[in-house]
Structure 1
């Protein structure tokens, strides 16, 4: 969990409309009324609170937000270590029946909601001092915080967020619920850059026109004309607010913002706003179609999604975390992305298998921003090889890294910034005239493609795998990996616990024999071995990077399977020649001819290597991290279960495309 975690709760959500402060994203404050009361003093919350019904105890963490009615704290369940955002409401603030009813209604409404883009309600309880409402944490804070750092977002980003907002909003409207307070501060962003719609303090059930509530509530800059005119709330009022949100994200300020509240209300009623010239015509047309004075003239949510702004514009599948503070570099999907998506869907289906969320052995890490401290960065030149072979984004897992000095950007953030649509490839440098007996990425690819294609061509259909080797020959494979190529390179740990890094400029450094021996490779055929204690000065900064990646993987990542071997010190470990990331898998090629493919979704793996007698062995590591090694000739003769066959087909497709790239 990032240290900057923020609850999926807006501090202003605790205040009634008449008491809410200035909108988080700027603008004039709402009108104060005679009902406004100064904030009453609240007793200090105990460090540990207990649910008397269940006996569960929760440890109070940092304060996440506060408002007129309540405060929000980070809390940890001492039994499960699960963390929540907990809204704490003092009993003396809900002593009156209408106050208690308001909180009760909010709880009863929110607990019935279950949608990907709605803040998750967990549970609640109360004691003699407080009411505790447990909600999910959203570590990327809210769109208000992103807006504050960025001021304006690009059109692909706006489409990305609006699609998720509309998805959550359609869910609410289909259930007859009006949100009534849509604004940037109520759209929360989780660790994976997924948006959650939250704060249901002003939400209400949809009524008939005659029964609609005439109360003016919400945030001034986002109020619809019919709300100000006391004509009541309908779904169209939420749509109006959505248009104001879109305008704010694209233009840098709310459409009707002025220095005077009365003037703001007048502009809203007259639908009077200025459109910056740098906003695209399709975006202008969509905003205009939403901000219509007559509710019946406004576009519906489905019409918004079918508008040219969405249908003819690129929407990224994911945004990098770096986009919270800086403009990401986004590109429409390449033909290769479509190719791999089509192949993956044909082999594995559209839905990803649900797997248990446990610490993973592989990492395209967000927390690695704290990894490197005091390293001589100038010694490493960046010469990264790119080829268009598919989308680059690997699903990331989360982890906590104990370190101190932050870098400018994290690996996943920088990697995503470079391209949403390109696969990323790192390649070891080689001499212009490599020796004939030195394997290259191309030769490893060619050999693997040949034997796997031949195996699949002769393989009969089967419902289960053939008998696996009871005592397979020991071989080395990648048990953990971490992508830090935005600055340094790609790190990995082998099954004998030696660690290597393929640096961006093509050199390779490995630590073996419990880090006492250093193997350094300038090119495929120029190899050097040093004792760590007598390493040349010019290699020490690279060794430090390898050590830090090794420590990170050791402390944070799980082993990728049950295949282990003793550390070998007599000869250099196999060197990673090339790695390629697509949308579904990571391909790694080694100078001993070994090929390994790791599938992100379920952490299964395919490893192809040669045995000492020259025959090919194929190892499949299941999602349970159990390994099965087969003679490839046996698979060709007896066939295998569909789970393994599908993965072999994908590997062949990947190698074909890689060879042609």
Structure 2
């Protein structure tokens, strides 16, 4: 989803905008401002805080478009990611900026070209959108969808653990994006919390295709060990090649981490971590729901052939039998959500359902007999969905019947 923001100053056209930019400071917060009293004016055309200088005002040599580089969003092996604003449209991108000096060797440049080739063909709601790339004498610029809520890693760092409904919400979106990638015969090979980005609407996007590769037949699969240590699968460590099942393993590690706040195979040293991975040795606390434990255990099966497919994951009891919110509030980035409807709301939905569908006593009795709050909330969620579907075709109940 495109996130549009407005730079807070008045301009009539892009040309004038760029001219005035040369006399002002782009401070990375999407606002143009003059230096405060006593401050040294910052030169708008350079960034002096990095080994490879990156211009504040960047021009695409091919199109003539100008962009303002903002704050750093993240760092990778070859690149830094910045906010970057199109000075004509005010549209914000996440710009991956790679200095030519960092990819001077042929195999390094080939890696970047391959990432661009794979990513630019993708178009899915739960995959970070690729928009454009260009080069100048100093850098390569890859313009991607801007996700203002950053990544799942940032959310979990603040929250420590997530609730079951949140995990279902995010898992469904990850599986949706991952299924699309696999249908395009693309393996991600680096699924982890830091590569799941959250946009303004709290939608998850799978991103960072720096290690992605085309799916190959078993005998032609790459034997290279690549990825993030805590999320590597046994077959990758044993140099047996990376397949769709390896992405499913990483997804199991992701689910475990979201629920418990730590990766399943994390130890004090890498050698021990790899030993635990090869043996598929980890602990499942009794505090987890049985369905959650079963799903994690299936995804973390030592034998790749024993792991569930993405469709099977979506049909698992953990996904289908529990409450999943349609949307999450942005407060979920820092505070656990409260999914429990207030008593007046619960009363309303009970009465409205009875008025629409009949059997008021039976339905009320059925709901009242649910002792566990989670079960009751699931039923209310279903009633809400039924109300939406039937509100057009059925007559609204009288006010005295639902109040």
TM-score, normalised to structure 2, is 0.76
The structure where strand makes up a greater share of residues is: 1
1:140 aligns with 2:149: yes
Residue 276 of structure 1 pairs with residue 18 of structure 2: no
Structure 1 runs of 4+ aligned residues shifted over 3 Å read: 331-340, 419-423, 649-659
Structure 2 residue 93 is matched with structure 1 residue 84: yes
Give secondary structure in 1 for the equivalent of 2:263.
Answer: coil
Query: Within 2, Cα distance between the matches of 1:305 and 1:652?
Result: 32
Contact 1:316 1:420 in 2 (8 A): no
Q: Equivalent residue of 1:135, what SS?
A: strand
1:140 Cα deviation from its structure 2 partner: 1.1
- The Cα of 1:66 is off from its aligned counterpart by 2.2
- Among 198, 204, 210, the residue aligned to 1:195: 204
| Superposed counterparts of 1:356-435, under 5 Å | none
Q: 1:286 is matched with which residue?
A: 295
Alpha-carbon distance change, 303 to 650 in structure 1, aligned in 2, over 3 angstroms: closer
1:325–1:125 CA distance, 2 compared to 1 (3 A): same
Number of residues of Structure 1 aligned to a counterpart in Structure 2: 331
Q: Aligned pair in 2 of structure 1 residues 421, 281: CA closer, same or farther (>3 Å)?
A: closer
Matched with 2:315 is 306
Q: Distance in 2 between matches of 1:117 and 1:337?
A: 35
Separation (CA, whole Å) in 1 of partners of 2:396 and 2:281: 55
- Separation (CA, whole Å) in 2 of partners of 1:317 and 1:186: 22
Does the Cα contact within 8 Å between 2:147 and 2:198 map onto a contact in 1? yes
Deviation at 1:653, TM superposition (A): 4.8
Q: 2:78 aligns with which of 69, 76, 83?
A: 69
Asked if the contact 2:78–2:98 (Cα under 8 Å) also holds between the matched residues in 1, the reply is yes
The answer (yes or no) to whether the contact 1:2–1:139 under 8 Å persists in 2 is no
- Matched residues in 1 for 2:4 and 2:401: separation? 40
1:203 to partner: Cα distance: 0.2
**Residues 132 and 282 of structure 1: is their aligned pair in 2 closer, same or farther, counting only changes over 3 Å?**
same
Superposition CA RMSD, Å: 3.2
How many angstroms does 1:42 deviate by?
3.1
Query: Larger C-alpha radius of gyration, 1 or 2?
Result: 1
The normalised TM-score by structure 1 is 0.47
- Distance in 1, matches of 2:399 and 2:147, equals 38
| Aligned twin of 1:124 | 133
SS in 1 for 2:275: helix
- Offset, 1:314: 1.0
Out of 100, 107, 114, the residue aligned to residue 98 of structure 1 is 107
In structure 1, how many angstroms separate the alpha carbons of the residues matched to 2:351 and 2:152? 30
Match of 1:316 among 318, 321, 325: 325
CA distance in 2, matches of 1:121, 1:85: 10
Report what 2:218 is aligned to.
209
1:161 and 2:170 aligned: yes
Shift of 1:43: 2.8
Partner Cα separation in structure 1 for residue 185 and residue 128 of structure 2: 18
Tell me how far apart the structure 1 counterparts of residues 184 and 111 of structure 2 sit (CA, whole Å): 19
Matched, 1:242 2:251: yes
- Give the gaps of 5 or more residues in structure 2: 6-49, 357-376, 386-390
Q: Distance in 1 between matches of 2:265 and 2:306?
A: 19
* Contact map agreement 2:99 2:138 (CA 8 A) in 1: yes
CA distance change for structure 1 residues 276 and 650 in 2, over 3 Å: closer, same or farther? same
Q: 2:53 maps to which residue? A: 44
Pairing 1:459-474 to 2, within 5 Å after superposition: none
CA-CA distance at 1:273 after TM superposition: 0.5
Counterpart residue number, 1:327: 336
Given that 2:57 and 2:67 are in contact with CA atoms closer than 8 Å, whether structure 1 keeps it comes out as yes
Distance 1:658 1:324, change over 3 A: farther
Cα pair distance change 1:301/1:652, threshold 3 Å? closer
**CA shift at 1:172, angstroms?**
0.4
| Distance in structure 1 (CA, Å) of the matches to 2:351 and 2:306 | 38
Superimposed CA distance per residue, residues 218-242 of structure 1 (whole angstroms, 9 cap, x where no aligned partner): 0111000000000000000000000
Q: 1:238–1:338: structure 2 CA closer, same or farther, 3 Å change rule?
A: farther
Q: 1:262 to 1:329 in 2, by over 3 A?
A: same
1:152 aligns with 2:142: no
Deviation at 1:336, TM superposition (A): 3.6
SS in 1 for 2:200: coil
Does structure 1 conserve the Cα–Cα contact (< 8 Å) formed by 2:323 and 2:378?
no
With over 3 angstroms needed to count, the CA separation of the structure-2 counterparts of 1:323 and 1:67, relative to structure 1, is same
Distance 1:337 1:63, change over 3 A: farther
